[in-house]
Amino acid sequence: MEHPRTEPTLPAPRGPLSAAVIARLTGDGPLPLPRDVARAAVYGDDFQLALYLCYELHYRGFDGVPPDREWDPDLLRTRGALERRFESALRADATVHDDVDEALAALLVEPVDGTGVSHFLRDKGELWHVREYAAQRSLYHLKEADPHAWVLPRLWGRAKAAMAAVEFDEFGGGRADRVHALLYANLMDDLGLDTTYGRYLDAACAELLVTVNLMSLFGLHRSLRGALVGHFATVEITSSPGSRRLAEAMRRTGAGPAAEHFYDEHVEADAVHEQVVRHEVIGGLMEDEPALAPDIAFGIDATVFVEDRLGDRLLADWGAGRSSLRTPLAVPDATPVPDTTPVP
Protein backbone atom coordinates (compact mmCIF):
# COMPACT_ATOMS: atom_id res chain seq x y z
CA MET A 1 0.00 0.00 0.00
CA GLU A 2 1.31 3.46 -0.89
CA HIS A 3 1.61 6.05 1.87
CA PRO A 4 2.37 9.37 0.16
CA ARG A 5 4.54 12.06 1.76
CA THR A 6 2.43 14.59 3.63
CA GLU A 7 3.20 17.48 5.93
CA PRO A 8 1.32 17.17 9.22
CA THR A 9 -1.09 19.81 10.44
CA LEU A 10 -0.11 21.91 13.43
CA PRO A 11 -1.51 20.63 16.74
CA ALA A 12 -3.45 22.59 19.33
CA PRO A 13 -1.22 24.30 21.91
CA ARG A 14 -0.91 22.82 25.39
CA GLY A 15 0.14 25.98 27.18
CA PRO A 16 1.91 29.34 26.67
CA LEU A 17 5.23 27.92 25.41
CA SER A 18 3.71 25.79 22.66
CA ALA A 19 1.18 28.53 21.83
CA ALA A 20 3.99 31.02 21.28
CA VAL A 21 5.95 28.59 19.08
CA ILE A 22 2.84 27.83 16.98
CA ALA A 23 2.16 31.56 16.58
CA ARG A 24 5.72 32.07 15.35
CA LEU A 25 5.46 29.16 12.91
CA THR A 26 2.41 30.75 11.29
CA GLY A 27 3.32 34.44 11.68
CA ASP A 28 5.59 36.77 13.60
CA GLY A 29 4.35 36.44 17.16
CA PRO A 30 6.72 36.88 20.11
CA LEU A 31 8.55 33.79 21.30
CA PRO A 32 8.81 32.68 24.94
CA LEU A 33 11.25 34.53 27.18
CA PRO A 34 14.04 32.59 28.91
CA ARG A 35 12.24 32.97 32.24
CA ASP A 36 9.14 31.33 30.72
CA VAL A 37 11.24 28.33 29.66
CA ALA A 38 12.86 28.17 33.10
CA ARG A 39 9.50 28.11 34.90
CA ALA A 40 7.79 25.43 32.79
CA ALA A 41 7.59 21.77 33.87
CA VAL A 42 10.39 20.24 31.84
CA TYR A 43 8.68 16.87 31.27
CA GLY A 44 5.22 18.43 30.95
CA ASP A 45 2.90 18.74 27.96
CA ASP A 46 3.55 22.41 27.16
CA PHE A 47 7.35 22.23 27.33
CA GLN A 48 7.65 18.98 25.41
CA LEU A 49 5.20 20.01 22.68
CA ALA A 50 7.08 23.31 22.18
CA LEU A 51 10.34 21.38 21.78
CA TYR A 52 8.71 18.77 19.51
CA LEU A 53 7.41 21.54 17.24
CA CYS A 54 10.90 23.03 16.93
CA TYR A 55 12.40 19.63 16.13
CA GLU A 56 9.76 18.66 13.59
CA LEU A 57 10.96 21.52 11.37
CA HIS A 58 14.03 19.35 10.70
CA TYR A 59 11.89 16.38 9.60
CA ARG A 60 8.85 17.13 7.43
CA GLY A 61 7.78 20.46 8.86
CA PHE A 62 4.10 21.40 9.05
CA ASP A 63 1.41 22.20 6.53
CA GLY A 64 1.27 25.94 5.97
CA VAL A 65 4.61 26.64 7.68
CA PRO A 66 7.28 28.10 5.35
CA PRO A 67 10.27 25.75 4.94
CA ASP A 68 12.70 28.52 5.89
CA ARG A 69 11.28 28.53 9.42
CA GLU A 70 13.67 25.60 9.98
CA TRP A 71 16.51 28.13 10.23
CA ASP A 72 14.66 31.05 11.83
CA PRO A 73 17.31 32.47 14.23
CA ASP A 74 14.77 33.34 16.91
CA LEU A 75 13.18 29.90 16.79
CA LEU A 76 16.64 28.33 17.01
CA ARG A 77 17.40 30.42 20.10
CA THR A 78 14.15 29.26 21.66
CA ARG A 79 14.93 25.67 20.76
CA GLY A 80 18.37 26.06 22.31
CA ALA A 81 16.89 27.34 25.58
CA LEU A 82 14.46 24.41 25.69
CA GLU A 83 17.22 21.93 24.86
CA ARG A 84 19.58 23.19 27.55
CA ARG A 85 16.88 22.82 30.16
CA PHE A 86 15.89 19.37 28.86
CA GLU A 87 19.42 18.03 28.72
CA SER A 88 20.25 19.41 32.16
CA ALA A 89 17.18 17.71 33.65
CA LEU A 90 18.04 14.41 31.98
CA ARG A 91 21.63 14.48 33.23
CA ALA A 92 20.39 15.14 36.75
CA ASP A 93 17.53 12.63 36.72
CA ALA A 94 18.70 9.80 34.48
CA THR A 95 22.44 9.35 34.98
CA VAL A 96 23.18 6.02 36.66
CA HIS A 97 26.35 4.64 35.05
CA ASP A 98 29.73 6.06 34.14
CA ASP A 99 30.93 2.78 32.65
CA VAL A 100 29.60 1.70 29.25
CA ASP A 101 29.96 -2.02 29.92
CA GLU A 102 27.96 -1.72 33.15
CA ALA A 103 25.24 0.29 31.40
CA LEU A 104 25.03 -2.29 28.60
CA ALA A 105 24.98 -5.19 31.07
CA ALA A 106 22.01 -3.65 32.87
CA LEU A 107 20.03 -3.77 29.60
CA LEU A 108 20.43 -7.53 29.39
CA VAL A 109 18.73 -8.16 32.74
CA GLU A 110 14.95 -8.46 32.52
CA PRO A 111 12.74 -8.61 35.63
CA VAL A 112 11.56 -12.13 36.39
CA ASP A 113 7.98 -11.00 37.00
CA GLY A 114 7.76 -9.13 33.67
CA THR A 115 5.84 -5.95 34.52
CA GLY A 116 6.50 -3.84 31.41
CA VAL A 117 4.13 -2.65 28.70
CA SER A 118 5.02 -5.46 26.27
CA HIS A 119 4.34 -8.02 29.03
CA PHE A 120 0.97 -6.41 29.74
CA LEU A 121 -0.04 -6.36 26.08
CA ARG A 122 1.08 -9.96 25.55
CA ASP A 123 -0.64 -11.37 28.66
CA LYS A 124 -3.85 -9.39 29.09
CA GLY A 125 -3.99 -6.43 26.72
CA GLU A 126 -7.18 -5.90 24.75
CA LEU A 127 -7.43 -4.63 21.20
CA TRP A 128 -8.06 -1.06 22.37
CA HIS A 129 -4.81 -1.15 24.35
CA VAL A 130 -2.93 -2.32 21.26
CA ARG A 131 -4.48 0.42 19.12
CA GLU A 132 -3.57 3.10 21.64
CA TYR A 133 -0.02 1.82 21.88
CA ALA A 134 0.31 1.87 18.09
CA ALA A 135 -1.11 5.40 17.84
CA GLN A 136 1.27 6.72 20.48
CA ARG A 137 4.34 5.05 18.99
CA SER A 138 3.47 6.22 15.47
CA LEU A 139 5.10 9.59 16.21
CA TYR A 140 8.43 7.79 16.04
CA HIS A 141 7.81 4.69 13.95
CA LEU A 142 6.54 6.64 10.93
CA LYS A 143 10.00 8.21 10.83
CA GLU A 144 11.81 5.17 12.20
CA ALA A 145 15.63 5.45 12.12
CA ASP A 146 15.56 9.01 10.75
CA PRO A 147 16.95 10.67 13.93
CA HIS A 148 19.75 8.11 14.06
CA ALA A 149 20.83 8.85 10.48
CA TRP A 150 22.05 12.28 11.60
CA VAL A 151 24.96 10.66 13.42
CA LEU A 152 26.48 9.11 10.29
CA PRO A 153 28.51 12.17 9.17
CA ARG A 154 29.88 12.40 12.73
CA LEU A 155 31.35 8.90 12.82
CA TRP A 156 34.14 7.21 10.87
CA GLY A 157 35.84 3.85 10.50
CA ARG A 158 34.22 0.79 12.11
CA ALA A 159 31.54 2.79 13.88
CA LYS A 160 30.41 4.55 10.70
CA ALA A 161 30.40 1.43 8.54
CA ALA A 162 28.44 -0.59 11.10
CA MET A 163 25.96 2.18 11.81
CA ALA A 164 25.33 2.60 8.08
CA ALA A 165 24.76 -1.15 7.73
CA VAL A 166 22.12 -1.18 10.45
CA GLU A 167 20.43 1.94 9.07
CA PHE A 168 20.37 0.31 5.62
CA ASP A 169 18.31 -2.50 7.11
CA GLU A 170 15.99 -0.04 8.87
CA PHE A 171 15.37 1.67 5.54
CA GLY A 172 14.44 -1.58 3.85
CA GLY A 173 17.79 -2.76 2.48
CA GLY A 174 17.15 -0.86 -0.74
CA ARG A 175 13.54 -2.06 -1.12
CA ALA A 176 10.80 0.51 -0.58
CA ASP A 177 8.28 -2.15 0.47
CA ARG A 178 10.54 -3.17 3.38
CA VAL A 179 11.20 0.26 4.86
CA HIS A 180 10.30 -0.11 8.53
CA ALA A 181 8.27 3.10 8.58
CA LEU A 182 6.09 1.65 5.80
CA LEU A 183 5.76 -1.66 7.65
CA TYR A 184 4.51 0.32 10.65
CA ALA A 185 1.98 2.17 8.51
CA ASN A 186 0.73 -1.24 7.35
CA LEU A 187 0.43 -2.27 11.01
CA MET A 188 -1.68 0.83 11.60
CA ASP A 189 -3.87 -0.07 8.62
CA ASP A 190 -4.57 -3.44 10.21
CA LEU A 191 -5.65 -1.69 13.40
CA GLY A 192 -7.96 0.76 11.66
CA LEU A 193 -5.72 3.73 12.46
CA ASP A 194 -5.02 6.77 10.30
CA THR A 195 -1.55 6.34 8.78
CA THR A 196 -1.05 10.03 8.03
CA TYR A 197 2.35 11.16 9.29
CA GLY A 198 1.95 13.05 12.58
CA ARG A 199 -1.78 12.32 12.77
CA TYR A 200 -1.73 11.45 16.48
CA LEU A 201 0.42 14.32 17.74
CA ASP A 202 -2.59 15.98 19.38
CA ALA A 203 -3.52 12.71 21.09
CA ALA A 204 -0.07 11.65 22.33
CA CYS A 205 0.80 12.06 26.00
CA ALA A 206 3.75 14.14 27.20
CA GLU A 207 5.69 11.02 28.17
CA LEU A 208 5.63 9.86 24.55
CA LEU A 209 6.78 13.25 23.28
CA VAL A 210 9.76 13.02 25.65
CA THR A 211 10.90 9.75 24.04
CA VAL A 212 10.86 11.26 20.53
CA ASN A 213 12.44 14.54 21.65
CA LEU A 214 15.27 12.62 23.28
CA MET A 215 16.44 11.06 20.03
CA SER A 216 16.03 14.35 18.17
CA LEU A 217 18.13 16.10 20.82
CA PHE A 218 20.88 13.52 20.54
CA GLY A 219 20.71 13.28 16.75
CA LEU A 220 20.87 16.99 16.00
CA HIS A 221 23.95 17.74 18.09
CA ARG A 222 27.41 16.59 17.09
CA SER A 223 28.51 17.08 20.69
CA LEU A 224 25.99 14.40 21.71
CA ARG A 225 27.00 11.78 19.14
CA GLY A 226 28.08 9.45 21.94
CA ALA A 227 24.67 9.77 23.60
CA LEU A 228 22.95 9.06 20.26
CA VAL A 229 24.97 5.86 19.87
CA GLY A 230 24.05 4.89 23.44
CA HIS A 231 20.40 5.55 22.67
CA PHE A 232 20.52 3.50 19.49
CA ALA A 233 22.24 0.64 21.27
CA THR A 234 19.52 0.62 23.92
CA VAL A 235 16.78 0.47 21.29
CA GLU A 236 18.43 -2.38 19.41
CA ILE A 237 19.41 -4.43 22.47
CA THR A 238 15.95 -4.27 24.06
CA SER A 239 13.96 -4.52 20.82
CA SER A 240 14.15 -8.24 20.04
CA PRO A 241 12.64 -9.65 23.28
CA GLY A 242 10.12 -6.82 23.46
CA SER A 243 9.12 -7.30 19.83
CA ARG A 244 8.61 -11.02 20.44
CA ARG A 245 6.11 -10.23 23.19
CA LEU A 246 4.40 -7.59 21.05
CA ALA A 247 4.11 -10.03 18.12
CA GLU A 248 2.38 -12.46 20.48
CA ALA A 249 0.08 -9.63 21.62
CA MET A 250 -0.84 -8.88 18.00
CA ARG A 251 -1.69 -12.53 17.37
CA ARG A 252 -3.67 -12.93 20.58
CA THR A 253 -5.78 -9.81 19.99
CA GLY A 254 -6.33 -10.49 16.30
CA ALA A 255 -4.63 -7.27 15.25
CA GLY A 256 -3.93 -8.55 11.74
CA PRO A 257 -1.11 -10.03 9.61
CA ALA A 258 0.72 -6.76 8.94
CA ALA A 259 0.67 -5.94 12.65
CA GLU A 260 2.16 -9.34 13.43
CA HIS A 261 4.73 -9.01 10.64
CA PHE A 262 6.08 -5.67 11.89
CA TYR A 263 7.11 -7.13 15.24
CA ASP A 264 8.13 -10.51 13.83
CA GLU A 265 10.50 -8.63 11.52
CA HIS A 266 12.05 -6.82 14.48
CA VAL A 267 12.59 -10.01 16.48
CA GLU A 268 14.97 -11.36 13.85
CA ALA A 269 16.50 -8.14 12.54
CA ASP A 270 17.21 -6.55 15.90
CA ALA A 271 18.80 -9.68 17.33
CA VAL A 272 21.43 -9.28 14.61
CA HIS A 273 21.58 -5.49 15.01
CA GLU A 274 22.26 -5.86 18.72
CA GLN A 275 25.55 -7.63 18.07
CA VAL A 276 26.60 -5.18 15.36
CA VAL A 277 25.81 -2.14 17.49
CA ARG A 278 27.50 -3.47 20.62
CA HIS A 279 30.69 -4.74 19.02
CA GLU A 280 31.15 -2.53 15.97
CA VAL A 281 29.31 0.78 16.51
CA ILE A 282 30.06 1.17 20.21
CA GLY A 283 33.33 -0.77 19.99
CA GLY A 284 34.51 1.31 17.05
CA LEU A 285 33.50 4.62 18.63
CA MET A 286 35.18 3.72 21.93
CA GLU A 287 38.35 2.83 20.02
CA ASP A 288 38.32 6.10 18.07
CA GLU A 289 37.06 8.41 20.82
CA PRO A 290 37.40 6.85 24.28
CA ALA A 291 36.54 10.19 25.90
CA LEU A 292 32.94 9.71 24.71
CA ALA A 293 32.38 6.75 27.06
CA PRO A 294 30.46 8.79 29.69
CA ASP A 295 28.15 10.19 27.00
CA ILE A 296 27.48 6.70 25.58
CA ALA A 297 26.52 5.55 29.09
CA PHE A 298 24.37 8.67 29.52
CA GLY A 299 22.54 7.92 26.28
CA ILE A 300 21.75 4.43 27.55
CA ASP A 301 20.59 5.66 30.95
CA ALA A 302 18.50 8.50 29.52
CA THR A 303 16.73 6.14 27.11
CA VAL A 304 15.87 3.72 29.91
CA PHE A 305 14.65 6.62 32.05
CA VAL A 306 12.27 8.10 29.47
CA GLU A 307 10.97 4.70 28.35
CA ASP A 308 10.26 3.73 31.97
CA ARG A 309 8.33 6.98 32.45
CA LEU A 310 6.24 6.23 29.37
CA GLY A 311 5.63 2.65 30.49
CA ASP A 312 4.53 3.81 33.94
CA ARG A 313 2.09 6.27 32.39
CA LEU A 314 0.54 3.73 30.02
CA LEU A 315 0.20 1.04 32.68
CA ALA A 316 -1.26 3.46 35.23
CA ASP A 317 -3.92 4.62 32.77
CA TRP A 318 -4.75 1.16 31.49
CA GLY A 319 -4.76 -0.28 34.99
CA ALA A 320 -7.37 2.30 35.94
CA GLY A 321 -9.44 1.39 32.86
CA ARG A 322 -8.90 4.73 31.14
CA SER A 323 -7.32 5.85 27.89
CA SER A 324 -3.67 6.89 27.79
CA LEU A 325 -4.45 9.34 24.99
CA ARG A 326 -5.44 12.99 25.30
CA THR A 327 -8.21 12.54 22.72
CA PRO A 328 -10.11 9.33 21.90
CA LEU A 329 -9.43 7.21 18.86
CA ALA A 330 -12.05 6.65 16.23
CA VAL A 331 -13.49 3.22 16.98
CA PRO A 332 -13.75 0.70 14.10
CA ASP A 333 -16.63 -1.77 14.14
CA ALA A 334 -17.52 -2.85 17.70
CA THR A 335 -14.20 -2.34 19.45
CA PRO A 336 -14.79 -1.62 23.18
CA VAL A 337 -14.40 2.06 24.07
CA PRO A 338 -12.31 2.88 27.16
CA ASP A 339 -12.89 5.85 29.41
CA THR A 340 -11.22 8.80 27.64
CA THR A 341 -11.66 11.39 30.37
CA PRO A 342 -8.50 13.56 30.20
CA VAL A 343 -6.07 13.03 33.06
CA PRO A 344 -4.59 16.23 34.54
> What would the mean pLDDT of 72-83 be, rounded to a whole number?
96
Task: Give the total residue count for the chain.
Answer: 344
Q: Give CA separation, 300 vs 111, 142, 166, 230, in Å.
A: 18, 23, 18, 5
The four Cα atoms 18, 21, 23, 28 give a dihedral, to 10 degrees, of 160
CA–CA dist 285, 263 (Å, integer):
29
Domains of the chain: 16-92 (no CATH), 99-319 (1.20.910.10)
CA–CA dist 184, 167 (Å, integer):
16
CA–CA dist 275, 293 (Å, integer):
18
pLDDT at 100 over 60: yes
- Is the distance from CB of 333 to CB of 263 less than 8 angstroms? no
Average pLDDT of the residues of the chain = 92
CA torsion sign for 271, 295, 138, 67 is negative
Q: What does the pLDDT look like over 115-160, one tens digit per residue?
A: 899 999 999 999 999 999 999 999 999 999 999 999 999 999 999 9
Higher pLDDT, 108 or 5: 108
pTM over the 0.85 mark: yes
Q: What does the pLDDT look like over 186-204, one tens digit per residue?
A: 999 999 999 999 999 999 9
Q: Which of 291, 169, 186 is nearest to 232 (CA)?
A: 169
> What would the mean pLDDT of 58-68 be, rounded to a whole number?
96
Higher pLDDT, 112 or 122: 122
Radius of gyration of the chain (CA): 19
What is the Cα 66 distance to its own chain's centre?
A: 25
Q: What does the pLDDT look like over 241-253, one tens digit per residue?
A: 899 999 999 999 9
Where is average pLDDT lowest: 98-112, 243-257, 271-285? 98-112
